[in-house]
Structure 1
Amino acid sequence: MTPPSSAVSIGPYTLPNRVILAPMAGVTDRPFRQLCRRLGAGWVVGEMVTADPSLWHTRKSRQRMDHRGEPAPRVVQIAGGDAEMLAEAARLNAELGAEVIDINMGCPAKKVCRKAAGSALLRDERLVAEIVAGVVAAVDVPVTLKIRTGWCADSNNAVRVAKIAEDAGIQALAVHGRHRQQRYAGEAEYDTIAEVKSRVSLPVFANGDIDSPEKAARVLAYTQADALMIGRGAQGNPWIFEQVSHYLDHGIHMAPPTLDERHQVLGEHLATLHAFYGEVMGVRIARKHVGWYLAADTRFDAALQRTLKQQFNALDTPAAQFAWMNNAMAPDAPARLLAKGSHAA
């Protein structure tokens, strides 16, 4: 059984449910955040933004910091290894409209860890304390933190970091159930998250390998976390938020999206990507999302998925992408494709 439903508050904001979209660089852009929120995510976090303001003039940074049209709260995640720079980045982002600041101490990417940022910070608990205290003091908006269980299997220090965060005034903590050296390999473990939850009073969000309503319920019950944070499980399946929320509240599955709904949502997602990034970049970025939608579509076997993905990746205009979608991923597409005795769309 899952724990009883209770409202989770972060500063002046109360989550409408216990299912959160995890921040993912290159994935949780404004179009995807808005889509996931519409499909049931109770809280969404923007893509990681560098704490170095000198880099904010780049197109990538400007797009990552673009929260226009999003409802409150607008959550901006910052990453870096210098306490003063992170505090200044938090202050500047708050001035630009961020309503919650999230500090990244969980990213395992080499290019981030080489700069002593992301999960590399977990190796230096004194620096962790300096950063969280500095950021909290720099802004009047709530500050949250995302971590892993530690740097490696021999340095599982999530509980100590959680206590440091709580003492500094961090208002919520997300814990990914892997250490940095695992990256995304193997399986997430939830013992550490459960221990963290038992040792602090601030809201704790369990993260890692949550890809179904049943898994969500098991993780929530085992860890006693206040909410769940879903990342890769939402790629190609933005409906997971409403599905998990419904299952947690009612103990039964909601009806899956119809083929017509899947087709409509994919079309809306493509249109917003093209509009947000422009035709050239929008077409490129749409390719990875469509690959995830294909992988999550049980109508297609692995061979057909590969063929369709190759076809889509060869397209270079929005019009061509929409034409392909309306043929290859229409509600009756698999029947038509298989009837031809071919894997051609």
Structure 2
Amino acid sequence: MAKIREIELGEFPLLLAPMEDVSDPPFRAVCKENGADLMYTEFISSEGLIRDAAKSRQKLDIFEYERPIGIQLFGSDVETMGKCAEISTAAQPDLIDINYGCPVKNVACRGAGAALLQDIPKMIKMTEAVVKSTHLPVTVKTRLGWDDNTKNILEVAERLQDIGIEALTIHGRTRVQMYKGEADWTLIGKVKENPRIRIPIFGNGDIDTPEKALEYKNRYGVDGIMIGRASIGYPWIFREIKHYLHTGEYLTPPTIQERVDVCKKHLDFSIRWKGDKLGIFEMRRHYTNYFKGLDHFKPYRMRLVESPDYADILSILDEVANHFNTVMI
């Protein structure tokens, strides 16, 4: 049974990765419904939170049905990160997570995210400031290192545990790799095997099928798996992995009608949370992913992304269900 302090996550939890512009409450809702055991907010800029920026503040929104849920923070200033941990604690999540893994330029080049992998003493100081600023469990998500010459995750894991973090998620790439090449889980397995490590270790990177989840669970001995890109437009990945882990059998993939129904649910929540105009606009990035693999879907996608009208979008989605159900019969 994996636990973060008193938070019970089940025998082998599946975590939804924090993803900018993706893992907002509407997306988290459909992932939770399909079996995600622990979820995180999109990462929140500590500078934005301190300035009381509306976008950063809105990312603190969490809902009871999402629990357990963590608020993820990133930043480059130790004192600011401590203050933001206090602000985030007031939003009543179940835990606080620190992002030391984001590789994108506008984060890393500002001294935040994966940039801290180049300055381990500062990473430790920052983590300590966050731990001291909240009564909640603090967890960390990071990478193997900055580049092939600095794969220092074994040392980093011990030092982070020693100052009080209560779980660690490791993405199996360096910052320089970004998301290219195959994720290397070898060092993740070595962190888990380290007799000094007593906190849960979660692996992340390239888990996109039930059989790969089982293979990596058995090969590397991790306490759970975090899933990111494979869940975009396919929240069913969580239930499919769970079913395969328990039975060794594949779950029937979602029908076209199921895809349409979940897409509608996602749209409804997006509108409730963001308002009509923004909710419809920001949903546009998801249609391609929900209907990936359907031949000749492009004309429907064009209509979906061009329509500003909720009723019209629902009508187009019904057309998709009718057309592709007929085609597939």
Same fold (TM over 0.5): yes
Tell me the residue number matched to 1:238. 235
Tell me the residue number matched to 1:33. 28
CA distance in 1, matches of 2:300, 2:250: 30
Change in 2 beyond 3 A, CA 1:71/1:234? closer
The range that moved more, 62-71 or 112-121, is 62-71
Tell me the residue number matched to 2:200. 203
Write the deviation string for residues 29-83 of structure 1: whole angstroms up to 9, x where unpaired.
Answer: 011112111110111111101112333332x223211113444323100000111
Change in 2 beyond 3 A, CA 1:284/1:69? same
Residue number among 45, 54, 61 corresponding to 2:56 in the alignment: 61
Deviation at 1:223, TM superposition (A): 1.4
Alignment of 1:316-327 (within 5 A): 316-327=308-319
Asked whether the 8 Å contact 1:18–1:245 carries over to 2, the reply is: no
Write the deviation string for residues 199-253 of structure 1: whole angstroms up to 9, x where unpaired.
Answer: 2221111101111101111111121100000000001110111111121122222
Is 1:44 the counterpart of 2:30? The answer is no
Deviation at 1:317, TM superposition (A): 2.1
Deviation at 1:184, TM superposition (A): 1.1
Residue number among 96, 110, 114 corresponding to 2:109 in the alignment: 114
Residue number among 309, 333, 338 corresponding to 2:323 in the alignment: 333
Residue number among 222, 226, 231 corresponding to 1:225 in the alignment: 222
Tell me the residue number matched to 1:14. 8
Tell me the residue number matched to 2:179. 184
Query: Unaligned stretches of 5+ in structure 1?
Result: 1-6, 340-345
Q: Secondary structure at the match of 1:165?
A: helix
The range that moved more, 257-266 or 155-164, is 257-266
* TM-score of the pair, normalised by structure 2: 0.94
CA distance in 1, matches of 2:93, 2:64: 13
Asked whether the 8 Å contact 1:148–1:179 carries over to 2, the reply is: yes
Structure 1 letter corresponding to 2:176: Q
Residue number among 126, 140, 146 corresponding to 1:131 in the alignment: 126
CA distance in 2, matches of 1:219, 1:213: 10
Tell me the residue number matched to 1:277. 274
Query: Unaligned stretches of 5+ in structure 2?
Result: none
CA distance in 2, matches of 1:152, 1:113: 13
Count of residues in correspondence between the two structures: 325
Identity %: 34
Change in 2 beyond 3 A, CA 1:305/1:184? farther
Deviation at 1:336, TM superposition (A): 5.2
Deviation at 1:263, TM superposition (A): 2.2
